[in-house]
Amino acid sequence: AADHIGRLSVLLLDKCKAEEYRSHIYLLYYGCVRAFNVHIVQCIDKLLHGYHVGMLTGNIENAMLIACIHQANSFLLGRHLAELKAELDSFGKLMVEYKQMFARNRIRLIELVVSNLLISNDCPSLIGAQNTEMEDLLEQATKENDTFIICQIYIFGCIDAYIFGEYELASSMIGKRQEVEKTMSRRIIYF
């Protein structure tokens, strides 16, 4: 039902040429609904378009949230890490410039993952003594009871461990994420 309503919303947007609502509709539809019904590659261009429209129409908050989803999806789609890192840096600077710290904190996790993979030395580096910034983020999120960030840390930690063949660590991260999700009203977006 949500996908049908979302498609109708996009059709109405196009028919009425209501650009001021496009970023909001695209955030909800392509970022939160459509990505569950089709492969995320089919949503990536629409998300980027929603970001640009949001910036042009002054809907900065939605534009920055769309940027977060776009960057996470780009990473999951296997985008070239150097290109992704440059884009993450650019989005990160804009988020600070526009004082969008909620979005900035979410994109920071992806930046750490990409940076760690770019400089990796054949071992996972997101969780543990090798990455104190990630540990600090996890500690802060735990203090603030920010279950979304906690889950994201475990998801990206799992990906990092899996890439380097640390399957027991990856399994441990999945278990920790599932424990945190039990306290949430709904499951995290990925996996």
pLDDT digits (tens, 9 = 90+) for 131-179: 788 888 899 999 999 998 899 899 988 888 888 888 999 999 999 999 9
Count H helices, E strands: the chain?
A: 10, 0
Has residue 115 got a pLDDT over 50? yes
- The torsion region of residue 75 among left (phi > 0), alpha (psi -120 to 50) and beta comes to alpha
The residue with tokens 């196009």 is 14
Taking the C-alpha atoms of residue 51 and residue 45, their distance in angstroms, rounded to an integer, is 10
Closest CA to 17 of 57, 60, 67, 48: 57
Query: pTM here?
Result: 0.88
pLDDT digits (tens, 9 = 90+) for 38-94: 999 999 999 999 999 999 999 999 999 999 999 999 999 999 999 999 999 999 999
Q: Which of 7-16, 17-26, 109-118 has the lowest mean pLDDT?
A: 109-118
